[in-house]
Amino acid sequence: MTQRLSPGDRAPDFSLTDADGNLVELEKERGSKVVVYFYPAAATPGCTTQACDFRDNLAGLSAAGYKIFGVSPDPQDKLKAFVDQEHLTFPLLSDEDHAVADAWGAWGEKNNYGKTSEGLIRSTVVLDEDGVVSLAQYNVKATGHVAKLRRDLGVD
Whether 56 is covered by a domain: the verdict is yes
pLDDT of the residue at 90? 98
Check if 47 is active-site: yes
Q: What is the CA radius of gyration of the chain?
A: 14
Whether 10 is covered by a domain: the verdict is no
Domain span at residue 113? 15-151
Domain count, the chain: 1
pTM check: above 0.85: yes
Whether 7 is covered by a domain: the verdict is no
Splitting the chain (156 residues) into consecutive groups of 10 residues, what average pLDDT does each group show? 89 98 97 98 96 98 98 98 98 98 94 86 97 97 96 94
CA-CA distance, 108 to 3, in Å (whole number)? 10
Whether 63 is covered by a domain: the verdict is yes
Q: What is the CATH number of the domain that holds 128?
A: 3.40.30.10
Whether 19 is covered by a domain: the verdict is yes
pLDDT of the residue at 31? 96
Q: Are 120 and 98 in contact (CB under 8 A)?
A: yes
pLDDT of the residue at 1? 53
Whether 108 is covered by a domain: the verdict is yes
Whether 6 is covered by a domain: the verdict is no
Which among 47, 120, 125, 136 is annotated as catalytic?
A: 47
Nearest in space to 118 (alpha carbons), one of 131, 103, 108: 108
pLDDT of the residue at 113? 78
